[in-house]
A and B are shown apart, each in its own frame.
Chain A
Amino acid sequence: MARKYSQGTSGHAEHPSWLQHHFDTAEQQFAAGKMGMWLFLATEVLLFAGLFCAYTVYRSNHPEIFVYAHQFLDPNMGALNTCVLLFSSLTVAWAVRASQLGQQRLTMALLAITILCGFGFMSIKYIEYSHKWKHGLLWGTRYVPEQHVETGGHGEPPEIEVVHQDAGEVEHGIDGTAVVVHEEANLTPGQIIIPEDERTKLATAAIGPLGLAPEVSKDEVAGEHAEVAPDNVHIFFGIYFGMTGLHGIHVLAGMIMLTWLLIRTARGHFSPEYFTPIDLGALYWHLVDLIWIFLFPLLYLIS
């Protein structure tokens, strides 16, 4: 950290081109940049923290949803993506070192590999997303799982069949709730009925911790592979798409930033004296990796 202002008016002239006028020394500029980036990373973590909170709340209140729905995710794909990102972390860290040593060509190569890894990650994500899309395994109102859903095969989910049922007969309870009487005749075992009118399915009344919906008793979490889909499976997919989608946007942003760094490296903007942007860019990329390291077990490896 700078202790002293450069003396006299000539101080300004001594500034190298990459040193901004309001900093006195390269160390001061570097320290400021580094601290700024760390703070920014803190805000990024907090941005994701909201989603992690939502995840925690819903998982502790409705573990059965998570146990059931995670079977539709392919852990192999997730693991592959984890490897891709870990490898890219290595290359970007190496790029910082290379840039620090003034190895311009090596820096460029490593940055390019990192960007390619980003592409790889996004491609795998695309395959996963399109698979979910095809089978209607989406969020909220878009959650319309089609009949005979087959996943990539690894999770071996039970075959389920969903029948969209019209209102059915409604018996009027005095307590103000409607009871949908199912037309059992048309159904075979394994079929799930999604009643048309979600409104009547009020959650059980209770005052849970922090006033959230009550905890489901543990025996409702039926083993490893729930045979019947619990209510509101779409919540899991909402959280899945929310978290991985936001993460994907960050990967994209990271790739754009790395491309910009690649171009600047090619133009020879960096030197062993000044490689701050590469250092900071790598920090950001590591954070994006780190978040994925948390997302992968939380979403794919639920037991």
Chain B
Amino acid sequence: MSMLTDLLASLFGMALLNGEKTFWLPEQASTAAKNVDWIFMFIYWLSTFFFVLIVGLTILFVIRYRARPGHKEQPSPSHSTLLEVTWSVIPSILLFFIFYYGYKGFMDLVVPPSNSYEIGVTAQRWSWNFTYPDGYVSENLHVPVDRPIRLVMTSEDVIHSFFVPAFRVKRDIVPGRYNVTWFEATKPGSYQIFCAEYCGTGHSDMLAQVIVHDTGEFDRWLEESSGFLDKLAPAEAGELLYKQRGCKQCHTLDGTIKIGPSFKDSYGIDHVLTDGSTVLAEENYYRQSMLDPQSQIVAGFDPVMPTYKGRLKDKEVTAIIAFIKSLSPYGAVEAETETPTESEAQPETDSATDDLD
């Protein structure tokens, strides 16, 4: 197959052989991409042929038979079964080929090899969580190169869709069900993940990266990242969780209002809820807001937060609370041993993960 693929690829799109970005298609970075692309280019040239045929003849006829002094329509037959059959059958045969290769390519896209490395995907408005076999969760997808990756995906709220253009992979993520897709990355690097199924306000911000590691590096990265809860101070671990688990999609650190209340100066003050009551923001309030978000909605906000019950361990909840406390003057006094964190993103913790790449 691969020889045929290469041959066809070279026939239908010269640039595709080396996998670079072309006029029509993005860079190829998975085993599937080459396969999809030659079908794309095959249909492309076939369509171009028919388009040139139809439009070319149209233009030709308009020029030759345009109404002008001295020109009159000439009699010609108004039906021809032979012609009709010809222009029905020839396209039919071509369509059959497109259908056949389209289906074949699709089966390659959806049936994961049995030795795949499995990663769990949880989509929620408007972030991604990728769960590795050892339980570590990250916000970007890290995978080893040259190894089939099987993604088992589900959604916490509405339908999303996992889309990596460079891999030519897309699969809807439906709540209440697991959808599976797979790919095998061929080049180390970083590739864009989009959410392709409309999911509301932050749909276009529901982005992430696939980071493809060299084979050995991936294992090292996973091992080092997984222990962060034990290695880092609670507030720092909390900040990491804040970025990785989707908190930051809705809760800012600088006091601006997004989908949910900002975490800045949130701890230790009274919040007014939608039912008019007030609640003092202390540890139990945050814990409950994570595990049962609908129970206490701060006035002025919509009840859109999904529950984190079962998705955050106790230790993680504690770490996030520690992080929120560190952002408030009330919290900082209490937890004076911790360094108060600045509102802007922390390069240290960012690099804590990225350095391990």
User: CB within 8 Å of B: which residues of A?
Assistant: 167, 170, 172-179, 197, 199-200, 202-203, 205-207, 213
Contact = CB atoms under 8 A, between A and B. Distances in A.
Given A199-B307, A200-B310, A175 B131 contact: yes
A81 to B, nearest CB: 35
A199 B291 CA distance: 12
B71 interface: no
Given A202-B154, A202-B177, A167 B135 contact: no
Given A202-B154, A203-B177, A176 B120 contact: yes
Interface string B186-226: 00000000000000000000000000000000000000000
A243 to B, nearest CB: 23
Interface stretch (B49-57, B98-106, B234-242, B311-319): B311-319
A205 B177 contact: yes
A167 B293 CA distance: 13
19 contacts: A167-B309, A170-B291, A170-B310, A175-B120, A175-B131, A176-B120, A176-B122, A177-B310, A178-B309, A178-B311, A179-B310, A197-B309, A199-B156, A200-B309, A200-B310, A202-B154, A205-B178, A206-B178, A213-B176
B7 to A, nearest CB: 33
Interface in B31-77: none
Nearest to A173: B310
A174 to B, nearest CB: 4
A198 B97 CA distance: 47
B342 interface: no
Q: Main SS of chain B's interface residues? A: loop
B160 to A, nearest CB: 15
Interface in B129-181: 131, 135, 152, 154, 156, 176-180
Given A167-B291, A199-B306, A203-B176, 18 more contacts: A170-B291, A170-B310, A172-B311, A174-B131, A174-B135, A175-B131, A176-B131, A176-B310, A179-B310, A197-B309, A199-B156, A202-B154, A202-B176, A203-B177, A205-B152, A205-B180, A206-B178, A207-B180
Nearest to A177: B310
Contacts of A205: 152, 154, 177-180
B292 interface: yes
A-B pairs with the 8 shortest C-beta distances?
A178-B310, A205-B178, A174-B135, A172-B313, A176-B311, A178-B309, A203-B176, A177-B310
B177 A172 contact: no
B110 to A, nearest CB: 9
Contacts of A177: 310
Interface string B108-136: 00000000000010100000000100010
A173 B180 CA distance: 21
B302 to A, nearest CB: 18
Given A175-B120, A178-B309, A199-B307, A167 B292 contact: yes
Counting chain B CB atoms within 10 Å of each CB, the highest count among A172, A178, A200, A207 belongs to A172
Contacts of A172: 310-314
A138 B152 CA distance: 35
A167 B309 CA distance: 10
A167 to B, nearest CB: 7
Given A175-B120, A175-B131, A205-B152, A170 B178 contact: no
A179 B179 CA distance: 22
A203 B311 CA distance: 17
Nearest to B172: A211
Contacts of B306: 199
